Amino acid sequence: MELHTPYIFGNEIKNLGIAIKKNQIAIGNFINLFEKKISKFTKSKYTLSTNSGTSALHIALKIAGVQLNTEVLVSTITFIAPINSILYNGGLPIFMDTNNTFNIDVNKTIEFIKNKTYFKKGHTYNKKTNKKIIAIIIVHVFGNPAEINKLANICKERNIKIVEDCAESFGSYYKNKKIEHTGTIGDYGCFSFNGNKIITSGSGGLITFKNKNDLERARLYINQYKNNNLKFIHNDVGYNYRMTNINAAIGLAQLKHIKKILSHKLKIHNYYKIKIDSDEYSILNTPDYSISNNWLNILCINNKKISTKKIINKFLKNNINVRYIWYPNHLQKQMQKFQNYKMINYKKYKQCICLPSGYNISKKNINYIKKVLYE
């Protein structure tokens, strides 16, 4: 029983056949069509596909203005990709604590901005380092949207760009005055369509933009910053970050089934809660202000006397592939030199386990997981 394997509906094979028959392997019509469909689904003004979620983050931060010795606020509980993307641009992360859903602790982050920074000549500076704080990365962990609305105003006042890491939250929404998709509230939204995501293109990512100039700059960066196709003029350092037509063909076929996928993922989440929730164990809840895509179901061990390691080993011995949640990045060996702020809640990571949550998991599978857990 795997953690989150892709589910093939059938049109993926059809689309691949069309792309191959037309000899449109790298470049072709599926790329533009995929971008347009994602734009319509998320209600984003502009979209640009990339070859991974990590490259999307790298370019979004570059467009936001992150460069050598500038700083970026980011939560400690996340896959390492957003942290690496800061470093790719020469930036320096400042690690924030998490809340009960393992998203960034918004209240502490606002407190940090108000008390530990100063505003001068249109920019925010860190009182401790006197370095410019350019951006904040809001990671929507495990499909649960972070409380971005609370941060939006102060970030706008302080000229701090918001980069939403939506790698895990395609199909997740905010219940504001109107329903808004993650990745559409901040300045940039970065998505991943890796093999283990809600929908997959095999490998791929995408950036959403509100500003057309940002879109065109990003387009140059992902195409080796080629300013002239005939003369091969390059006016800046660029990257080979384009999504291929083959990947877009798969992603487009998957996107066709997104409503069915989200509906089924909610059923999986609810069944897990019915079977698992007790005094000793619970499934991580969705925040009230949001609609989650329920990408991964997280087992929380409420009794501190129960060993997380023993439970994981027991699952693995019974062919149930589980894993720990993200190891806190401020504790990673190469990250300990960077600043962090009031780290307390993140410690709950020690009592949580990622459970199998793919589209193809059945009630029988979940019943078996419960049986192994409670034996």
281: domain CATH number is: 3.90.1150.10
With beta carbons less than 8 A apart as the criterion, state whether 96 and 72 touch: no
Answer yes or no: is 6 within a domain. no
Q: Do residues 24 and 105 share a domain?
A: yes
Query: Which CATH number characterizes residue 147's domain?
Result: 3.40.640.10
Please indicate, yes or no, if residue 240 is contained in any of the structural domains. yes
Asked if 175 and 263 sit in the same domain, the reply is no
Q: What is the largest CA-CA distance in the chain?
A: 69
pLDDT tens digits, one per residue of 15-50? 999 999 999 999 999 999 999 999 999 999 999 999
One domain, residues 250 and 291: no
The share of the chain scoring above pLDDT 70, in percent, equals 100
Tell me the HSE value of 12 on the side-chain side, using a 13 A CA sphere. 15
Query: Quick one: how far is CA 99 from the chain centroid?
Result: 17
Whether residue 236 is found in the same domain as residue 136: yes
pTM of the model: 0.96
Q: Which residue has the tokens 């319509």?
A: 40
Give the distance from CA 291 to its chain's centroid. 15
pLDDT of residue 176: 82
Same domain, 33 and 126: yes
* Confidence (pLDDT) at 258: 98
Co-location of 230 and 285 in the same domain: no
pLDDT at residue 298, rounded to an integer: 98
pLDDT digits 0-9 by tens, 59-82:
999 999 999 999 999 999 999 999
| DSSP line for 61-113 | HHHHT--TT-EEEEESSS-SHHHHHHHHTT-EEEEE-B-TTSSB-HHHHHHHH
Q: Please write the tens of the pLDDT for every residue from 112-142.
A: 999 999 999 999 999 999 999 999 999 999 9
The pLDDT of residue 134 is 98
Residue 5: inside a domain, yes or no?
no
Overall average pLDDT of the 250-274 stretch: 98
Range 91-115 average pLDDT:
97
DSSP track, 120-138: ETTEEEETTT--EEEEEEE
pLDDT band with cut points at 50, 70 and 90 for residue 228? confident
**Full DSSP string of 204-252:** -EEEEES-HHHHHHHHHHHBTTEEETTTTEESS---B-PPPHHHHHHHH
Whether 365 is in a domain gets the answer yes
C-alpha angle 158-173-4 in degrees, rounded to nearest 5: 115
Instruction: Give the span between the Cα atoms of 369 and 357, in whole angstroms.
Output: 11
Strands 205-209 and 340-341, by their bridges, are: unpaired
Q: Helices 29-42 and 245-255, interaxial angle, to 10°?
A: 40
Amino acid 230: pLDDT: 85
* In a shared domain, residues 171 and 94: yes
Is residue 3 domain-resident?
Answer: no
What is the pLDDT, as a whole number, of residue 375? 85
Which domain covers residue 267, as residue numbers? 258-374
Domain boundary among 194, 229, 255: 255
Counting the structural domains of the chain, the total is 2
Same-domain check for residues 220 and 273? no
Strand pairing class (205-209; 46-50): antiparallel
Same domain, 210 and 356: no
> Which one of 238, 255, 272 terminates a domain?
255
**Is residue 320 pLDDT above 90, yes or no?**
yes
Residue 42 covered by a domain: yes
- Is 90 exceeded by the pLDDT of residue 86? yes
Task: Give the end of a domain, one of 199, 229, 255.
Answer: 255
> In this structure, is residue 4 part of a structural domain?
no
**Across residues 321-348, what is the average pLDDT?**
97
Asked if the model's pLDDT at residue 365 lies above 90, the reply is yes
Residue 162 has pLDDT above 90, yes or no: yes
Same-domain status, 160 and 300: no
pLDDT at 171 over 90: yes
203 in any annotated domain: yes
Helix axes 245-255, 11-21, angle to 10 degrees: 150
pLDDT 10s digits, 186-212? 999 999 999 999 999 999 999 999 999
Break the chain down into helix, strand, coil percent, rounded to 5.
Answer: 40, 20, 40
pLDDT tens, residue by residue, 268-304 = 999 999 999 999 999 999 999 999 999 999 999 999 8
Residue 222 has pLDDT above 90, yes or no: yes
Residue type, 277: D
